[in-house]
């Protein structure tokens, strides 16, 4: 039966190759795609400028700086006691964070002034124990964009992991 399908499908390839449509339309599509991508880029940037003006923009990133292995499993973000974002972490997410990637957890608007940023997270440490971490900070939002880093760190392995909330 398997040999049968081998034969069948080898012939199928030949038929497909011969019936592939001409390239002129494909060329037009490629050119159009390039234009559309550029336009989309402009629109996306414009949209971001309009939706998140510098005066009120706040972007919150998550990063890891750990000497010992901690697998992040979930994280919640509160601004002024209001839950604004949460994320469940996959193995890929953790791998990307371990390599130095920063996850943009939240992009939004807050008014100018003092705000309380609170984060709670759960993870699994290298002893396979579930750990719960908390971090918070009161930060002033000026008329400039505010970028905040939620960092999971362990001071080069010398302390237990902690969550910190800092201005970038």
Partner 1 sequence: MKPLASLILLGLCFFTVAAQELTPAKIQFSLPQHPQYNSVLFHYYKQDYQAALKALSIISVTDLSTHDQKTHQLLENLLQVSNGNKAYVGKLVADSEASIRAILGLVNEHIEFGQWQEAKLLLTEIADDVPKSLSSEYLYLQGLTLLNSQKDTTEIDISLQSDVGALWLQQLSNGLHSQAELNVLLKKVSSLDSRFQIVKDHALKELGYQFLQINNNQHAIQSFSAISIDSAVDTSALLGLGLALNSVGQFDKSRVALTRVLQAKDPGILSYEALLAHAYALEQQGDEVAAVAQLKQGIKRAQQRLVNQPQLIDNLKLQSDCFATLLAYPQIGLCDYYDEDKSETFVEFLTNESNVRANEQYQLLITLNMDYNKQLQTIAAFNFLLNHQIKQISELLNSEAIESLERRIDDTTLQRAAIVASVDDAEENRNGHFFLSDHYLALQRRIDDTFARMVFLKRAGQKNTASERRVTLMQRIVWWHSFSNFSKHLAQTRDAITDLNNQLTDNHLAYQILQDFLAKIPVLEQQLALMVTISTDIANQQLEISKIQQVVIENIGKSIEQFYKKEGVQLSRFIVDAKLALVRINDASFNRHFVKEQQGLNENDE
**Residues engaged in binding partner 1 (CB under 8 A):** 1-16, 18-21, 25, 28-29, 32-33, 35-37, 39-46, 48-50, 53, 55, 59, 61, 63, 92-93, 95-97, 99-104, 143, 147, 149, 168
The residue (of 109 and 143) whose beta carbon lies closer to partner 1 is: 143
CA–CA separation, 103 and 100 (whole Å): 10
Task: Give min distance, CB of 88 to partner 1, in A.
Answer: 14
What is the nearest approach in angstroms of partner 1 to the Cβ of residue 90? 8
Helices (H) and strands (E) in the chain, counts: 3, 8
Q: Are 99 and 143 in contact (CB under 8 A)?
A: no
Nearer to partner 1, 144 or 159 (CB): 144
Minimum distance from CB of 131 to partner 1 (Å)?
Answer: 22
Token reading at 151: 């960092």
CB of 145 to partner 1, least distance (A): 11
* Residue reference for tokens 């759960």: 122
Instruction: CB nearer to partner 1: give 90 or 159.
Output: 90
**Strand order across the beta sheet in which 82-88 lies:** 82-88, 71-79, 113-124, 130-141
Distant-in-sequence, close-in-space partners of 145: CB < 8 Å, separation ≥ 6 = 52, 54, 57, 58, 59
* CB closer to partner 1, 22 vs 127: 22
């Amino acid at each position: 039966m398997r040999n049968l399908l081998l034969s069948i499908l080898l012939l199928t390839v030949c038929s497909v190759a011969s019936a592939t449509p001409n390239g002129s339309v494909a060329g037009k599509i490629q050119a159009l795609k390039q234009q559309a991508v550029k336009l989309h880029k402009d629109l996306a940037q414009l949209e971001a400028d309009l939706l998140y003006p510098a005066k009120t923009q706040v972007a919150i990133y998550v990063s890891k700086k750990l000497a010992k292995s901690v697998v992040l499993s979930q994280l919640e973000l509160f601004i002024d006691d209001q839950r604004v974002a949460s994320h469940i972490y996959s193995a890929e997410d953790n791998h990307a964070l371990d390599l130095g990637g920063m996850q943009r957890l939240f992009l939004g608007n807050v008014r100018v002034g003092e705000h309380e940023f609170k984060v709670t997270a759960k993870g699994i440490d290298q002893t396979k124990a579930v750990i719960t971490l908390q971090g918070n900070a009161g930060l002033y939002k000026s008329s400039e964009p505010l970028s905040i880093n939620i960092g999971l760190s362990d001071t080069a392995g010398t302390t237990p992991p902690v969550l910190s909330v800092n201005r970038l």
